[in-house]
Amino acid sequence: MVAMDLSLTEKQEALKSEAREFFERECPTSLVREMERDERGYPTELWERMAALGWMGLPFPEWYGGGGGSLTDLAVLLEEFGRALVPGPFFNSVAVVGLTILDAGSDEQKAAILPRIADGSLIATAALLEEDARYRPEAIRMPLETREGQSVLNGVKMFVEYANSADVMLTPVRTSQNGDSEKGVTLALISASDAGIEATSLDSIARDRQFALQFEDVSVSPDAILGSVGDAWPILKRALDRATLLHCAQSVGGAQRVLEMTVDYTKQRVQFDRPIASFQSVQHDCADMVIAIDSARLAVYQAITRIEDGQNADKEIALAKTITNHAYKWTTLTAQQVHGGIAFMEEYDLQLWTRRAKVAELKFGASSGYTESFAQQMGLA
């Protein structure tokens, strides 16, 4: 068995440092709070500055205006996104839709869309979920029907992030029904400005921008289909696998920041004439946070490395998602306890990460499903 080298390269360390310095300067928590109240949900100035740094194009080849970076490079960047709670459609536009088009799009689709995602002039989002709200083929039910020689969509997609700003939406639909739910899944690239799409804003505990989209006789042209009609589930599964791990990296970054905040607080908070950092129980809590976060980070990058090497990573993805869900949720809850009453005040920053940890726990599937998948991979179920 060949050992994996999971240490960051010199360029990745430089990217990490550059992103951290940039977000500490350009994305303070005051901006995060402001964007929770903003109708758009993110500042165009920050988006343009990130585009100028080449971050939207980081994982795309140079001939599409990208930086030729790896999945690991993108994970390193997204850790810093999670640490700073950067608002905006970067994750869906780049990590979900952009990489899926790079993976399975036609030459024409790649040439038309990827350079514009890379320079930030086009924003993409993913309309993945329906009423079932599971990331499973059987949950994809919205039909793509043929009427009078034209393909049309009717139905509802839920929890579509930043649909108010998107130009293009990656939308899985059902083109046939049979006994195998993985057959008959088709991916369509839908223009967000098409007639027949009505968006309704949804409340979110993270206060990000999410929408329910009603599709009514929305026309879909043949050149909007990504891959082959009816055979898109393998494409979508690869997209979900990548996105799950990249979102885990983002969660690891969030948990890391919570740890840093907590350690700083324990050194400043005085109880019984000494900092609470000197109390053994508090020390153990902080040490346990480190163990949880570092375990999650190791699991995430190990799974990403397997994907980059072209290996099956179902077991590693299940492990990474389960551990990361626990690490982010447990770290924020423990931090709340260590901080005491101040942590429950909205004026204090910790709650920003606590709320997002709850959303991250459910994003791309809850822990229970991944735990079952891990057991299956071990031959236990």
- Give per-residue pLDDT as tens, 214-223: 999 999 999 9
Q: Do residues 84 and 27 make contact, with C-beta atoms less than 8 angstroms apart? A: yes
In the chain, the percentage of residues whose pLDDT exceeds 70 is 98
Which amino acid is present at 153? L
Q: How confident is the model at residue 5 (pLDDT cuts 50, 70, 90)?
A: low
Q: Does 1 have pLDDT greater than 50?
A: no
Q: Measured between alpha carbons, how far is 128 from 53 in angstroms, rounded to an integer?
A: 29
Q: Read off the amino acid at residue 326.
A: H
Q: In this model, does residue 350 exceed pLDDT 60?
A: yes
Per-residue pLDDT of 245-298, as tens digits, reads 999 999 999 999 999 999 999 999 888 989 889 999 999 999 999 999 999 999
If you write DSSP's letter for every residue of 296-358 in order, what string do you get?
A: HHHHHHHHHHHHHTT---HHHHHHHHHHHHHHHHHHHHHHHHHHGGGGG-TTSTHHHHHHHHH
User: How much of the chain exceeds pLDDT 90, in percent?
Assistant: 86
Q: 27-59, pLDDT tens digit by residue?
A: 999 999 999 999 999 999 999 999 999 999 999
Query: Which of these, 102, 201, 121, lies nearest to 159 by C-alpha position?
Result: 201
Whole-number pLDDT of residue 3: 54
* pLDDT above 80: residue 167: yes
Tokens standing for 112?
Answer: 């038309």
- Residue from 156, 155, 160 nearest 124 by CA: 160
Report how far residue 173's alpha carbon sits from residue 185's, in angstroms, rounded to the nearest whole number. Answer: 6
Residue with tokens 């990827």: 114
Work out the number of other CB atoms within 10 angstroms of the CB of residue 193: 9
pLDDT at 4: 61
The whole-model pTM stands at 0.95
What CA–CA distance (Å, rounded) separates 372 from 286?
Answer: 30
pLDDT tens for 191-212 read 999 999 999 999 999 999 999 9
109-158 pLDDT, tens digit each: 999 999 999 999 999 999 999 999 999 999 999 999 988 778 999 999 99
Confidence of residue 378 (pLDDT cuts 50, 70, 90): confident
Q: Mean pLDDT throughout 347-371?
A: 93
Do the Cβ atoms of 75 and 95 come closer than 8 Å? no
Cα(84)–Cα(119) distance, integer angstroms: 22
The first and second tokens of residue 170, run together, are 């990656």
Q: Is residue 381 over pLDDT 70?
A: no
Instruction: Average the pLDDT over 82-99 and give the result.
Output: 98
Note the pLDDT tens digit of each residue in 297-321.
999 999 999 999 999 999 999 999 9
Kindly give the interhelix angle for 314-339 and 280-308, rounded to the nearest 10 degrees.
160
